[in-house]
Amino acid sequence: MKLCLFMIIAFIGIELSAAKSYYISSQKENWFIAMGACHFKGYKLASIETQSDFDNLWYKIGNSGEKFWTSGTRLGQAYAGYSDSSKTFYWMESGRYFSYANWAYGQPDNHNGNQACVIVDGANGLKFDDAGCLDNEFRYICEY
Ligand SMILES: [Ca+2]
């Protein structure tokens, strides 16, 4: 009985730690302001590190038709000439390099040489795309 109770508590604990909650902004900001706005609320800019993270977001904004900032970036990386995006992009909030990545076709393309931050595109299957951190304003996803 005690073992059974322990297992139930452990299972609930795993479930609680695995599930993220999301705040989806209505405001549009550049990537830096978006991150600051999440921190101001005590949240983090979202990191989509697993299929489970992706699926949970898909349920919320998959058909929104809009673009949203994530914490994905390659800021600070010497990305010129890199072809393996898994080694250059990382989640700023977790510090981990991309392992799960759901790039849109032809992305990341570093268009005009200044796309270092990662959005998900609700008009394209919520797939990842690199975009200009400072010169684009999008809605953003905070996680907590
Ligand atoms: Ca791009």
Distance 117 CA to ligand 1 centre (A): 9
Distance 16 CA to ligand 1 centre (A): 34
pTM for the full predicted model: 0.84
List Cβ neighbours of 23 (8 Å cut-off, separation of 6 or more).
38, 41, 43, 141, 142, 143, 144
Q: Determine the 3-state secondary structure of 12 from DSSP.
A: helix
Distance 108 CA to ligand 1 centre (A): 5
Distance 39 CA to ligand 1 centre (A): 26
From residue 75, alpha-carbon distances to 21, 32, 79 in Å are 26, 11, 9
For residues 61 and 122, give the distance between their C-alpha atoms in angstroms, rounded to a whole number.
Answer: 6
Question: Residues 75-93: pLDDT tens digits?
Answer: 988 655 555 555 689 999 9
Give residue limits of the domains in the chain.
21-143
The mean pLDDT value for 60-66 works out to 96
Distance 85 CA to ligand 1 centre (A): 12
Q: What percent of the chain has pLDDT over 90?
A: 73
Top CATH class, 21-143 = alpha beta
